[in-house]
A and B are shown apart, each in its own frame.
Chain A
Amino acid sequence: MLEYLGPISEGIAATVTITALAFVLGSILGLPLLAASRSPWLPVRALARFLIDLLRAVPPIVWLFILFFGLAQSLVSLDAYPAAVIGFGCISAAYMAEIYRAGLLAVRRQQWEAGAALGLNRLQVLRTIVGPQAIRVVIPGAATWAIALLKETAVVSVIGVSDVTFLATSESQRSGDGLLIFLLAGGIYILMSLPLALVARWTDARLHRAVAL
Chain B
Amino acid sequence: MPDRLVPMEPEPDTGAVPAGRDQRPAGGREMVRLEGVSKELGGHQAVRDVSLTLEAGKVMSIIGPSGAGKSTLLRCVNFLAPPDSGSVFVDGVEVCADRRPGLEPRASELAELRRRVGMVFQNFELFPHLSVLRNVTLAQERVLKRDRADAERRARELLERVGLADKADAFPAQCSGGQQQRVAIARALALDPHLMLFDEPTSALDPELGAEVLSVMRLLAEEGMTMMIVTHEMHFAEQVSDSVVVMHEGAVLEEGPPEVVFKRPVHERTRRFLNAVLDR
Contacts and interface: CB of A to CB of B under 8 A. Distances in A.
Interface of A: 108, 110-111, 113-121, 124, 128-129, 132-133, 210-213
A132 B118 CA distance: 24
Given A110-B123, A117-B119, A121-B111, A213 B142 contact: no
Pairs of residues from A and B, 10 with the lowest C-beta to C-beta distance, nearest first: A114-B125, A118-B139, A212-B173, A117-B119, A119-B143, A211-B129, A119-B114, A132-B129, A213-B128, A110-B125
Contacts of B188: 117-118
**Residues of B contacting A: mostly:** mixed
27 contacts: A111-B125, A111-B127, A113-B121, A113-B125, A114-B119, A114-B125, A114-B126, A114-B127, A116-B80, A117-B114, A117-B119, A117-B188, A118-B114, A118-B139, A118-B187, A119-B111, A119-B139, A119-B191, A120-B138, A121-B107, A128-B142, A133-B127, A211-B129, A212-B172, A212-B173, A213-B128, A213-B173
A111 B123 CA distance: 10
A118 B80 CA distance: 11
Contact of B128 (A119, A128, A211): A211
Given A128-B142, A212-B172, 20 more contacts: A110-B121, A110-B123, A111-B127, A113-B80, A114-B126, A118-B114, A118-B187, A118-B188, A118-B191, A119-B114, A119-B139, A120-B138, A121-B107, A121-B111, A132-B129, A133-B127, A210-B129, A211-B128, A212-B174, A213-B128
Nearest to B187: A118
Contact of B115 (A119, A124, A210): A119
Contacts of A132: 129
A208 B114 CA distance: 33
Nearest to A122: B107
Nearest to B78: A117
A133 B129 contact: yes
A29 to B, nearest CB: 27
A30 B238 CA distance: 54
A129 B217 CA distance: 26
Contacts of A116: 80, 114
